[in-house]
Amino acid sequence: MDAVFKAVNDPSRRRLLDELFARDGQTLVKLCAYLPEMTRFGVMNHLCVLEEAGLITTRKEGRRKLHYLNPVPIRLVHDRWISKFTEPTVGRMARLKARAEGGTMSDPVHVYQVFINAAPAQVWQAIVDGEQTQRYFYGTRVESTWEPGAELSYFGADGAVVADGKVIAIAAPYRLEMTFQAHWDPDLEAEGPAREVWLLEDVNGVTKLTVEMHDVAVGSKTYEDFTGGFPYIVSGLKTFVETGESLPLPY
């Protein structure tokens, strides 16, 4: 948390975070345009501080290096220093990234990333086990055979299908690519399914979890709904796996 507080203590770094919040996945050249009084090297140094604090993640695409906002550390600061004093009203959080064979060709429109103090196999089980998803995925239970091409469904407490999709690719316990169609809102249904990539990587005994969102128009209702909801899901997953406890629902 010290690194997070230090990183956001600079107005130029806060500007970069604001611009990535407005438009994720930007190159260094584009980010330099927001700080015209600063050299390219200066902007690179600020981005390094933000990356070391976990507030941004990067992804290389050929010669390009794309930068993505990672709100997870901000959420953790909120949970540690704010939510214990005031009742949380909305959950915002999480992010994700990784390297996996046979991956997606398109750039993700949003990325969440978090480190979880558990082995990838334990985190993977929490992602695919319906009894466990009920503890952090807004109370829904997932069901699937978890094979390429298999259908998957998320059931609410009343047994209704809240969302469904299809497994595109799977390599347990490190990679899951799937479609996700929301059914809780007619407008979201009309926009069609999103594509999600869940990536797990063992880093010195802990799991680096990256979640990518694809095939969604920036500014669409699906984009706004998912970027607002995924932070709660990923934060809840981390909390559940590490402590066995569930976060209170943000509504």
- Residue range 178-222, pLDDT digits in tens: 999 999 999 999 999 999 999 999 888 899 999 999 999 888 999
Using an 8 Å Cβ cutoff, are 48 and 204 in contact? Answer: no
Answer yes or no: do 145 and 90 share one domain: yes
| Least confident segment among 92-106, 133-147, 206-220 | 92-106
CATH number, domain with residue 108: 3.30.530.20
User: Distance (Å, rounded) from C-alpha 240 to C-alpha 8?
Assistant: 28
User: Distance (Å, rounded) from C-alpha 151 to C-alpha 145?
Assistant: 8
Q: In 120-192, at which residue ranges do the beta strands (DSSP E only) sit?
A: 141-144, 151-155, 161-171, 175-182
Separation in Å, CA 176 to CA 171, 180, 197: 6, 12, 6
pLDDT band at 154 (very low <50, low <70, confident <90, very high): very high
Answer yes or no: do 91 and 139 share one domain: yes
Can you give the pLDDT at residue 60?
A: 85
User: Distance (Å, rounded) from C-alpha 203 to C-alpha 184?
Assistant: 36
Question: 3-class DSSP state for residue 134?
Answer: coil
User: Distance (Å, rounded) from C-alpha 185 to C-alpha 162?
Assistant: 9
pLDDT band at 100 (very low <50, low <70, confident <90, very high): very low
* Enclosing H/E stretch for 67: strand 64-69
Last residue of a domain, one of 17, 42, 69: 69
Question: 3-class DSSP state for residue 29?
Answer: helix
Answer yes or no: do 57 and 144 share one domain: no
Question: 3-class DSSP state for residue 32?
Answer: helix
Last residue of a domain, one of 69, 94, 110: 69
Domain of 25, in residue numbers: 1-69
Can you give the pLDDT at residue 92?
A: 32
Answer yes or no: do 61 and 78 share one domain: no
Separation in Å, CA 73 to CA 190, 205, 229: 33, 20, 16
Is the pLDDT reported for residue 2 higher than 90? no
Answer yes or no: do 102 and 205 share one domain: yes
In percent, the amount of the chain with pLDDT more than 90 equals 59
User: Distance (Å, rounded) from C-alpha 178 to C-alpha 198?
Assistant: 9
Last residue of a domain, one of 46, 69, 92: 69
Can you give the pLDDT at residue 80?
A: 63
Answer yes or no: do 133 and 219 share one domain: yes
Domains of the chain: total? 2
Answer yes or no: do 59 and 168 share one domain: no
Against a cut of 0.75, is the pTM above it? no
Answer yes or no: do 25 and 77 share one domain: no
pLDDT band at 251 (very low <50, low <70, confident <90, very high): low
Answer yes or no: do 127 and 168 share one domain: yes
- Residue range 21-71, pLDDT digits in tens: 888 889 999 999 999 999 999 999 999 999 998 899 898 888 889 999 887
Q: Write down the mean pLDDT value for the chain.
A: 86
